[in-house]
Structure 1
Amino acid sequence: MGSVKFQARLLAFFLLLLGVGSVLYQVFVQHVPLSQDETDQVWVVDAEVGFNARPNKPVKVRMFVPPQNNAYTTLNESFISNNYGVNVNTEKGNRQVTWSSRRAEGNQYLYYRLMLTQRYAESPENEPGPQFRPAPALKGPERLAAEALLEPIRQHSADVETFISETIKRVNELENDNVQLLLGSDLSPENRAKVVDLLLAMSHIPAEPVHTLRLAESQGQQPELWLRSYNGKQWLYFNPVNGQQGLPEDRLVWWRGAESLLKLDGGKSGNVSFSVHRNEMSALQLAQSLRMKDAESFIDFSLYELPLPAQQLYRILIMIPVGVILVLLMRSLVGMETLGTFTPVLVALAFRETQVLYGVLLFTFITAIGLSVRSYLEHLKLQLLPRLSVVLTFVVITMALLSLLGYKLGMGSGLSVGLFPMVVLTMVIERTSIVWEERGGSQSLKVALGTLFTAILCHLLMVWQPLVYFVFTFPGVLLCLASFMVLMGHYRGYRLTELVRFRAMVEGDKH
């Protein structure tokens, strides 16, 4: 016996481990939302390209767009134009869209829209970069100024990271004569970045301009320039103006390199204006959107991949074990008697169509009619099969009459009574009458009320939407329920009703 109990506990532990492991995998690896109300931020980035087309000239507009392997997941990408051909290609690690038209006149507007989210995004590949480059040939005062700036930088730095930080710090000391010579009259961030890059090149340290966009509610935002360098292990990002190190999480890399964002042939006065908006989207809808565009999401490995009719069916079926475990608790721990082991669950499924109030009334009325018919048939000494057949026939007749009555009175729930499981009601009537004969009318009423009460609790639990979502989304929970059921299989303790019944005996022993 001890060996059997140990095996049962081992099986319960194994099922629990599988169930909990499955849920944890979905939450932490697949990033499945724990609640159907959970939302995620979705960023909508709009880029408006405006220019004036030259008459009778072919137009070609090229603009950099963000790479696909960034720290965000692309939900949608749209290129909006009128009578323009659109082509996207990759050049020198950057993606570039080309709009082209044979003829265009007057003011022209082209639009690019990008929808992004951080959920399901993977870290971009840390591709290696160069760690050495030849120094440029400088002469005259520029060379002297650069060497004068580099001497203290070398003394105050220990590696590539501190060297770049110190270089940016020195270049932004605008009162320094050497800095003024190298910057000239242009104090723009772009020119400061060029001077920083020049000094790094003099020390054979490669650096690359990176143009980023800040994901925050804004209108008319322009890309922000950063510098990056590879230290042999990872890319290091620096702000060339304030020396900030590390690219913030709200920055989207738009393109890399010193080339300008927009190139325009056949037009003039070209400019790009950015606007960024933040929206909220249900995490579940987000996963469904990714699934529709063949992007990886948790739906690829869940019941959400089933067709919608099958999903609706399994949302009902997968909650049956939840109702079963409630019946198990009510019978094994509380001590409530019911008609059959799982009859309350079947009645609870019927309540899905009629709702609880109408379902209880219809259940009571039909059962009462069936018991009356069955009692009379018992008086006629009919055998079991003919008796059940007649009761089933009268149940169907009662259903039809109630449906007709409900239709005449304009009550939609009356029509739903036809969806009650007829066989279940027939067996309930038969079992209630058997209990009546064997244990009396009061016990029969008690068992029937226990069945009805348990069915109501099962129904409320099985239609509770947060729980339905959780069990449907994390089916591994069913293994946890099975684990508990296995453990309950060896429970031999007192029930709550027994503690109440024997309380007087216990109190008598104390006296």
Structure 2
Amino acid sequence: MRSVKLHARLLAAFLLLLGVGSIAYQILVQKVPLTESESDPVWVVDAQVSFQARENTPIKARMYVPPLESGFTALNESFISNNYGVNVNRENGNRVVTWSARRAEGRQNLYYRLMLTSRFAEPASVPEDGPQFRAAPPLEGPERLAADALLAPIRQHSADVETFVSETIKRVNNMESDNVRLLLAGDRSPENRARVVDLLLAVAHIPAEPVHTLELNESRDQQPELWLRTYNGKSWLYFNPLDGRQGLPDDRLVWWSGDKPLLALEGARNADVDFGVHRNEMSALQLAQSLRFQDQSSFIDYSLYELPVPSQQLFRILMMIPVGVLLVLLIRSLVGMETLGTFTPVLIALAFRETEVIWGVLLFTFITAIGLSVRGYLEHLKLQLLARLSIVLTFVVILMALISLVGYKLGLSTGLSVALFPMVILTMVIERISIVWEERGGTQSLKVAIGTLIAAVLCHLLMVWQPLVYFVFTFPGVLLVLAAVMVLMGHYRGYRLAELMRFRAMTDEGGR
């Protein structure tokens, strides 16, 4: 007996670990939302290119656009223009869009829009490795002396590439230094300060690359911000050349890298690029479905959401049946409430989906009472059990048809739903209650019928609770956890709540 119990406990533990592991994998690895209402920010980035076209001159506008492997999930990318050809290609690790037209007149506007989110995103793609040495630029005269004067304390106060770059940025942003002012030559713009930082790093043979990023923050007027990155032999390090901050923030979108300008224009003049960033909210489930429609990877590829919609609706019902069965099992084993078996209350709960709870209970009670009344009358005729049951079930069908007809005449949709009320379930309940009446009497059959009805109502309320329906349908591993609980309940031999209440009077008398 001990070996059997041990086997059952090991099986329950295995099912529990398998179910919990499956749920944890979906949540932690596949990023599946825990609730149906869970939403994520969706950023809409707009770039408007404006310029004045020259008459009778071909136009070509080339602009850098973000890489799709930027640490975000691209939901949609649009290039909007009128009578322009559009071509996207790669250059030196960047993506470039080219708008071209044979002729254009007046002010021209080209638009680029990108919708992205951090949900389901892969890490941003960067070059696997980078240079660790570069030749120093030729410097002479005062510039050379100023650079050497700045680099001497930088070398003394740094221990590696990371601290060297941070110290360099700190020194360049010290406007009280005569050496810094000389190298800046009166231009204190962020771009020029980044140029001086890059110059000093080049003199020290440390390679650096400018990276232009856009902050994902609600704004209608924003421009890319310049950062620097360098390779330390193991990974790429990002630095803000203005304040020395290290590490690219999560809300930064890398637009392009390199020292070339954002826009290159041929056949036009007075070019301008305006950026706008807007934030929307979208359900995480809708995001996954959108990715699925775009043939991109999402958790839907490995779940029941991949099934056709009618099949999904069916499985949303079927997957909740074990939940109802477990509830009936707990009610019978722990509470001690008697029902017509374990599966019958669950079937009645499924039938309540057609009639709703209140009307379902009323119809169930009314039809069952009529059926049992007919059965009581037929008992006086001394008919055999099989004949009595057959007559009762026939009258139940007639009664259901009459209720549907009266409901239709009165304009009540609930009356029509009786026709959808599973006839097999109701007739089976009548039969089971009649058998209990034959074997154990009318009082016991009434008690069992009430217990069955209460269990069915509780099962229905649990099985249609939308957050639980979503969780079970989305995380099928829950069924393995339920199976583990059922295995453990199979060896429960303790007292039920009803027995404790019944025997409490005996303990009270013994205490006296």
Give the TM interval when normalised to the shorter protein.
over 0.9
For residues 27 and 153 of structure 1, what CA distance do their matches in structure 2 show? 46
| Matched residue, 2:326 | 325
Contact 1:392-1:423 at 8 Å conserved across structures:
no
Letter of the 1:58 counterpart:
P
- Matched position secondary structure for 2:207: coil
Aligned partners of 2:384 and 2:295: how far apart in 1? Answer: 62
Write the deviation string for residues 190-229 of structure 1: whole angstroms up to 9, x where unpaired: 1111111111111111000000001111111000001110
Residue aligning to 1:194: 195
- Please state how far the C-alpha of 1:323 moved relative to its aligned partner: 0.3
1: CA distance, partners of 2:75 / 2:386: 62
Secondary structure (helix, strand or coil) at the match of 2:419 reads: helix
- Structure 2 letter corresponding to 1:109: N
- The CA deviation string for residues 383-440 of structure 1, in whole angstroms up to 9 with x for no partner, is 5555544433333322222112112212111111111111111111111112222222
- Does the aligned pair in 2 maintain the 1:388–1:426 contact within 8 Å? no
1:68 matched to which residue of 2?
68
Residues 161-198 of structure 1: per-residue CA shift (max 9 Å, x gap) = 11111111222222322222221132211111111111
Q: Which deviates more from structure 2 when the two are superposed, residues 127-136 or residues 253-262?
A: 127-136
Q: What residue ranges of structure 1 are gaps of 5+ in the alignment?
A: none
Cα separation, 1, equivalents of 2:380 and 2:49: 90
Distance change (3 Å), C-alpha of 1:354 and 1:161: same
| CA deviations over 1:127-147 (Å, ceiling 9, x no partner) | 211111111122222222222
Match of 1:213 in 2: 214
1:379 deviates by 4.7
Does structure 1 conserve the Cα–Cα contact (< 8 Å) formed by 2:61 and 2:100? yes
Which residue in the other structure is 1:159 paired with?
Answer: 160
Q: Give the 5 Å matches for 1:349-388.
A: 349-380=350-381, 387-388=388-389
Give the 5 Å matches for 1:242-391.
Answer: 242-380=243-381, 387-391=388-392
**Within 1, Cα distance between the matches of 2:218 and 2:29?**
30
Partner of 1:41: 41
Question: Which residue matches 1:224?
Answer: 225
Shift of 1:20: 0.8
Q: How far apart, in 2, do the equivalents of 1:24 and 1:242 lie?
A: 40
Q: Size of the alignment, in residue pairs?
A: 511
What SS does the aligned partner of 1:502 have? Answer: helix
Q: What do the CA deviations read for 1:216-258 (whole angstroms, capped 9, x no partner)?
A: 1111100000111000111111111222221111111100000
For 2:92, the equivalent position in structure 1 comes to 92
Tell me how far apart the structure 2 counterparts of residues 172 and 346 of structure 1 sit (CA, whole Å): 75
Tell me, yes or no, if the aligned pair for 2:71 and 2:125 is still in contact at 8 Å: no
Rounded to whole Å, the distance in 2 between the matches of 1:143 and 1:389 is: 109
In structure 2, distance between residues paired with 1:383 and 1:438: 14
2:337 and 2:435 map into 1 onto residues whose CA distance is 18
Deviation per CA, 1:453-490: give whole Å up to 9, x if none: 11000000000011111111111011111001011111
Asked if the contact 1:374/1:430 (under 8 Å) is kept, the reply is no
Structure 2 residues not aligned, in runs of 5+: none
Aligned partner of 2:479 in structure 1 is 478
In angstroms, what is the RMSD of aligned CA positions? Answer: 1.5
1:204 counterpart residue number: 205
Rounded to whole Å, the distance in 2 between the matches of 1:83 and 1:249 is 37
Give CA-to-partner distance per residue, 1:351-380, whole Å, 9 cap, x none: 011000100111111112222333445555
The answer to whether the 8 A contact 2:239-2:248 is kept is yes
Aligned partner of 1:112 in structure 2 is 112
Shift of 1:89: 0.7
Contact kept in structure 2, 1:225 and 1:239, CA below 8 Å: yes
Does the 8 Å contact 1:326/1:458 carry over to 2? yes
CA distance in 2, matches of 1:442, 1:375: 13
Say which is worse superposed, 305-314 or 123-132, in terms of deviation: 123-132
1:36-92 deviations in Å (ceiling 9; x for gaps): 111111111111111111122221111111111112111111111111111111110
Contact 1:229 1:235 in 2 (8 A): yes
Distance 1:101 1:371 in 2: 85
Whether contact under 8 Å (1:38, 1:283) holds in the other structure is yes
User: Which is further off, 194-203 or 117-126?
Assistant: 117-126
Q: Is the 8 A contact 2:71 2:118 kept in 1?
A: yes
Give the corresponding residue for 2:421.
420
CA distance in 2, matches of 1:386, 1:307: 46
SS in 1 for 2:280: strand
Q: Which stretch shows the higher mean deviation, 50-59 or 449-458?
A: 50-59
Match of 1:393 in 2: 394
382 and 89 in structure 1: CA distance in 2 versus 1, 3 angstrom threshold: farther
Percentage identity across paired residues of the two chains? 76
CA displacement at 1:450 relative to structure 2 = 0.6
CA contact (8 A) 1:221 1:273 kept: yes
Amino acid aligned to 1:432: I
1:174-193 maps to which residues of 2 (within 5 A)? 174-193=175-194
**Alpha-carbon shift at residue 265 of structure 1 (Å):** 1.2
Is contact 2:52-2:270 (8 Å) kept? yes
* Cα distance, 1:88–1:386 mapped onto 2, change above 3 Å: farther
SS at match of 1:216: coil
Tell me the alpha carbon deviations over residues 241-279 of structure 1, each in whole angstroms, 9 at most, x when there is no partner. Answer: 222221111111100000100111121111111111111
Determine helix, strand or coil for the equivalent of 2:311: helix
TM-score of the two chains, using structure 1 as the length reference: 0.97
Q: Do 2:336 and 2:496's aligned partners in 1 also have CA atoms closer than 8 Å? A: yes
Structure 2 counterpart SS, 1:97: strand
Native 8 Å contact 2:367 2:399 kept in 1: yes
Quote the Cα distance in structure 2 between the aligned partners of 1:385 and 1:209: 89
Does the 8 Å contact 2:230/2:238 carry over to 1? yes
* Structure 1 CA distance for aligned equivalents of residues 58 and 437 of structure 2: 94
Give the aligned partner of residue 19 of structure 2.
19
Contact 1:213 1:254 in 2 (8 A): yes
Cα shift readout 1:283-332 (whole Å, capped 9, x = no counterpart): 11111111111121111111111111000000000000000011101111
How far does residue 382 in structure 1 lie from its aligned partner after superposition? Answer: 5.1
Q: Given the superposition, is the C-alpha separation of residues 104 and 377 from structure 1 closer, same or farther in structure 2, using an over 3 Å criterion?
A: farther
2:493 counterpart of 1:492 = yes
User: Which whole-Å CA distance do the structure 1 matches of 2:210 and 2:327 have between them?
Assistant: 63
Distance in 2, matches of 1:123 and 1:165, equals 25
| CA displacement at 1:452 relative to structure 2 | 0.5
Matched residue type, 1:131: Q
Match of 2:409 in 1: 408
- Alignment of 1:78 with 2:91, yes or no, is no
Q: Distance in 1 between matches of 2:61 and 2:447?
A: 82
- Matched-pair contact (CA < 8 Å) for 1:375–1:433: no
Determine the structure 2 residue equivalent to 1:449: 450
Could you list the per-position Cα deviations for residues 69-116 of structure 1 after superposition, in whole angstroms to 9, with x for gaps in the alignment?
Answer: 112111111111111111111110001111111221111111111111
